[in-house]
Amino acid sequence: MVNLNGATLLAFILLISLLTASNANDSTAEEAFVKKTISQHDIVIFSKSYCPYCRRSKAVFKELNKVPYVIELDQRDDGFDVQNALSRIIGRRTVPQVFINGKHIGGSDDTVDAYENGTLVKLLGITSEDEL
């Protein structure tokens, strides 16, 4: 067992407090980034460039002639933190995560299902004249 004197213990507690406060501020900044991004773009995909499920989701929007705003988490220095913030906001850490008009659609399977059952077309406001 380590025996710490009062000054050492106080310094240790102060250090832990500073680290915890720093992490809390960082997570708040990342959550703010996620929320701001979702609110500023009609279609947002949080993705990883190498992920086949992410490519599948992006292909759905290409099929609909819509260009999503894509955040490639693996190409960002803060990608890990953004992914953690996304997890805290929506309860999922996996990618892709798709948002339309601020509404969380879900992952790849959810996006493909919404495309196939017509929900995605409705959410995007695409009329039959607009399609392909």
Q: How far is CA 98 from the centre of its chain?
A: 8
Strands 43-47 and 97-100: antiparallel
pLDDT at 52: 98
Domain ranges for the chain, please list them: 6-124
C-alpha span between 22 and 11 (Å, rounded)? 16
Read off the tokens for 109: 């399977």
Ranges of H-type helices in 41-100: 52-63, 79-90
Q: Model confidence over 14-52: pLDDT tens digits?
A: 666 665 554 555 568 999 999 999 999 999 999 999 999
The model's pTM: 0.78
Supply the CATH classification number for the domain 6-124: 3.40.30.10
For helices 52-63 and 108-116, angle between their N-to-C axes, nearest 10 degrees: 30
Q: Model confidence over 64-123: pLDDT tens digits?
A: 999 999 999 999 999 999 999 999 999 999 999 999 999 999 999 999 999 999 999 999
Q: Position 95: which residue type? A: V
Q: Among 9-18, 36-45, 54-63, 121-130, where is mean pLDDT lowest?
A: 9-18
pLDDT band at 127 (very low <50, low <70, confident <90, very high): confident
